[in-house]
């Protein structure tokens, strides 16, 4: 007699468990983002804008999150990356008017605390970086670094200066991504050259980065990044080409992944 009410409860619990498994499976799928494979090398990219709900006809402050990386499908050593390009849609607006600038030389050998002390007013984002370190006659090992992103200028061009700091072993790398404006789908491109002098870092496996900065300049509230969701009134949400990550490899090869993402119009 008592067993009858227990059955639907058990079934509900089972359904909930299956739903939970499905949801976590889907979350795992999305967490990796989109992937591309060339030979045994897999490049991945994920990210999005926050908030998703944006005005149709005017710009609003946004935060941009990007994460991605490289891996091999057979666990072999990652190739060295000699350059990286991050393409973002030209419709987004990047404002640096009145934002302090940080010079890469001031960040050399600085801990994150020291970097913040010197360049704090130019801070535009934070993140993490994981790299595979290869030293001759030693097995490869992984290091984890904190990333700080600062507004900068390189040869008169706007740039994002990345400061990577790993505590063990203590390592500091300063990497400028120079901003180029181009025609086409990804009109805003951040380009970094990764010279051999960077040492083991170019074998990086994963990065995640959030760019966002609100500031006041001459009494005006400004945002480092702004975007709108320019959709006609007949639809409430749209999908657009959001970002493309291209890795230039030491053998001259390139691997890139691009991702579409959505916005909702208000």
Partner 1 sequence: MGAAKGSDRRPLAAVVVLIAGMLCAAVASAAEAPARDEYVAQLERVCKPDAEATQRAMKGARADLQAERLGRVAGKFSQAAAIFGSTIGKIAKVPRPSGDLAKLSRWFGYLQRQESYLRQIAAELRTDHAIKAQKLTVRFIHNGNLANNVVLAFGFDYCSFRFSRFG
CA 43/CA 250 separation, integer angstroms: 15
The one among 108, 144, 260, 266 contacting partner 1 by CB under 8 A: 260
Binders of partner 1 in range 139-178 (CB under 8 A): none
Q: CB–CB of 57/228 below 8 Å?
A: yes
Beta carbon nearer to partner 1, 46 or 223? 46
Q: Kind and range of the H or E element at 10? A: helix 3-32
The Cα-based distances of 127 to 74, 122, 123, 150 in angstroms read 28, 15, 12, 12
Binders of partner 1 in range 39-58 (CB under 8 A): 39, 42
CA 174 to chain centre: 17
The one among 35, 108, 117, 182 contacting partner 1 by CB under 8 A: 35
DSSP code of 138?
A: S
Pairing of strands 60-61, 225-227: antiparallel
Binders of partner 1 in range 221-240 (CB under 8 A): 230-239
Beta-carbon contacts of 236 under 8 Å, excluding residues fewer than 6 positions away, are 264, 265
Beta carbon nearer to partner 1, 157 or 254? 254
Tell me, residue by residue from 60 to 79, as one string, x for binding to partner 1 by CB under 8 A and - for no binding.
Answer: -------------x------
Binding residues for partner 1, rule CB under 8 A, total 24
The one among 217, 250, 262, 266 contacting partner 1 by CB under 8 A: 262
CA 66/CA 160 separation, integer angstroms: 14
CA 60 to chain centre: 20
Position 38 contacts partner 1 (CB under 8 A): yes
Cβ of residue 258: shortest distance to partner 1, in angstroms?
6
Tell me, residue by residue from 180 to 199, as one string, x for binding to partner 1 by CB under 8 A and - for no binding.
Answer: -----x--------------
Where along the sequence are the contacts to partner 1 (CB under 8 A)? 29, 34-39, 42, 73, 185, 230-239, 241, 258, 260, 262
């Amino acid at each position: 007699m008592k067993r009858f009410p227990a059955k639907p409860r058990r079934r509900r619990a089972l359904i909930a468990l299956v739903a939970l498994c499905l949801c976590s499976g889907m979350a795992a799928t999305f967490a990796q983002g989109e992937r591309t494979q060339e030979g045994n090398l897999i490049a991945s990219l994920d990210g999005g804008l926050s908030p998703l709900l944006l005005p149709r006809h005017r710009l609003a402050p946004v935060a941009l999150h990007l994460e991605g990386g490289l891996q091999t499908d057979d666990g072999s050593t990652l190739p060295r990356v000699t350059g990286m390009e991050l393409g973002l849609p030209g419709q987004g607006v990047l404002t640096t008017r009145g934002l302090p600038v940080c010079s890469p030389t001031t960040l050399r050998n600085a801990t994150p605390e020291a970097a913040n002390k010197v360049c704090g007013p130019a801070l535009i984002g934070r993140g993490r970086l994981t790299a595979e370190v290869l030293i001759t006659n030693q097995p490869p090992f992984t290091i984890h670094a904190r990333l700080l992103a600062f507004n900068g200028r390189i040869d008169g061009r706007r740039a994002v200066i990345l400061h990577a700091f790993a505590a063990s072993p203590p390592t500091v790398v300063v990497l400028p991504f120079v901003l180029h404006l181009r025609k086409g789908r990804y009109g805003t491109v951040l380009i970094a050259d990764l010279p051999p002098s960077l040492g083991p870092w170019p074998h990086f496996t994963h990065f995640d980065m959030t760019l966002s900065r609100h500031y006041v300049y001459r009494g005006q509230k400004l945002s480092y990044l702004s975007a709108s969701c320019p959709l006609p009134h007949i639809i409430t949400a749209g999908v657009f080409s959001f970002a493309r990550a291209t890795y230039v490899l030491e053998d001259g090869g390139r691997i890139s992944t691009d991702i579409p993402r959505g916005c909702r119009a208000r």
